[in-house]
A = this chain, B = another copy of it.
Amino acid sequence: MTFDQWLEARRADLERALEALLPKPPALPAVIDTAMRYSLLGGGKRLRPMLVIASAEGVAQATGASEAAARDTAMPAACALEMIHTYSLIHDDLPSMDDDNLRRGRPTSHIVHGEGMAILAGDGLQAEAFKLLAREPQGHHPALMQRKLRVLSLVADAAGAAGMVGGQAVDLSAVQPASASAPGGTPPVTLTPDELRDMHLRKTGALIRASVASGAIMAGADAALFAELDQYGTEIGLAFQIVDDILDEEGSAATLGKTAGKDRAAGKPTYPVIFGLDRSKQMADECRARAHQALDRAGLLDSRLAAIASWIIDRKT
C-alpha cells in the first residue's frame, strides 16, 4: 500500500468515525449541530488524526502487535484531536483574531453562521473532544482507564493556555497595528527568535506533538518508545509551523484554500520575516532530519510516520 493509498483509507475511516461519534439532534439543538458539522466535516488535511493513527500503528509495528487493533484503540483520540483543531480554526478565523473569510476553500464559520454561533460551535467542539476522550474506547480495565486519563491530561495541556491557546494569545498580542508599519515595507518585529520558537511550539507544535503522543499512549508504548515518538512529534510540530509561515509568504489563496500573505500584511512575526526564506527552509529540513533520527532509534524509519514528516515539510498547501 502506497502512502497515498494509506492516507485515503485512513481518512475514510476517520470520516466514518467522526460521523458515528458525533451526537445528533435531539441530543443537541439543531442550530449548534449544524454549525459544528459545517466546520468539522468540511474537509481539511486531517493531519492530526493521521498522526494519532500512524503513531499507534508505529507502536504496533515496533512491538509486533496488530496494527488494526491499534488503529481502533486510537480512533476516538484521532477524532478528538481533529475536533480540537477544528475548534481552534473557527476561533482563530474570527474578526477579533485573524479575521479570515476563507478556510479549507469555504467561507469561514462566522461568515456563514454569525460570530456568536461560530464562537459557540468552537466551544462545543472542544467539550465534545474531551467527552470523547473520557468515554471511548469504553471499558473499565485499569490499564485502559490509565491511558485515557493520561491522554486527556496531555491533550488538555496541549490545547490550553500552556499550549495552543497560549501560543495564539502571544501571537495576538504580538501583532502590530496596521498603522505602525510603513505601506509595503517590512513591519516591525516584536519577538526575539527564541520567543518566536516558543510561540510556534505552543500555537501549533503542542497539538501536533500531542497527536503523536496520544496515539503512542493508546497503543501502549513503553517509556523508551514513547520518548522517541515524542521527540519526533516535537520536531514535526515545529516544522509544520515553519512551513506554514513559508507558504503564507509564497502561496496563493487558490492553492492554500485560505487567504495568503496575511501574516506579513498584519505585521505578524514569522520565520521568513525573522530568518529569511532560505534559512527558514533549511530549518524545516533540520527538523525533518531530527525527526527521522528519532524514528531510526525507534526502529520505525520505514513507518508511515517518516512519510508524514515529508508530507508536512514538502507540502505546497
Contact = CB atoms under 8 A, between A and B. Distances in A.
Interface stretch (A46-54, A116-124, A182-190, A294-302): A116-124
Interface string A29-72: 10111011000000000000000000000000000000000000
A81 interface: no
Interface string A183-207: 0000000000000000000100000
Contacts of A135: 149, 153
Chain A interface, DSSP helix/strand/loop, else mixed: helix
A169 B117 contact: yes
A190 to B, nearest CB: 12
A31 B203 CA distance: 14
Nearest to A198: B29
A168 B28 CA distance: 11
Contacts of A178: none
A147 to B, nearest CB: 10
A126 B124 contact: no
Interface stretch (A159-167, A238-246, A283-291, A309-317): A159-167
Nearest to A96: B115
A306 interface: no
A124 B32 contact: no
Given A166-B124, A169-B29, A134 B149 contact: yes
A161 B128 contact: yes
